Amino acid sequence: MPVYLVTWDLNREKPNYSKARDAFIALLDKFESKKDAGLDSVRFVSTSWDASQIHDYLRKAQDDNDRLLVSRIHKGSAERNDWLSKAVWDWIRERE
């Protein structure tokens, strides 16, 4: 199945930030995913959905001033430079 990079920023100034973050993570947890311990607002998601479907689903838990990026990782087709844990790369490579 394809792997997507999902990264987000929720407005920390809102009074219900913790509740909003929990709601967003609950939606994100519906997918098979992998987290790198060094990247707090980044997940790698494996699903048959496309980027638009993932985006639209996750936006349900965001306000207009929050941000979200969903990008498909294509095996061997993108230049990349990273410092992710080996466990994350192993997980991604098993799914690419």
For the whole model, what pTM was predicted?
Answer: 0.85
pLDDT surpasses 70 at 74: yes
pLDDT surpasses 60 at 81: yes
CB distance 35 to 45 below 8 Å = no
Domain chopping of the chain, boundaries: 3-95
Is 3-95 assigned to CATH 3.40.190.10?
no
Q: Rounded CA gap, 63 and 59, in Å? A: 8
What pLDDT shows up at residue 15?
80
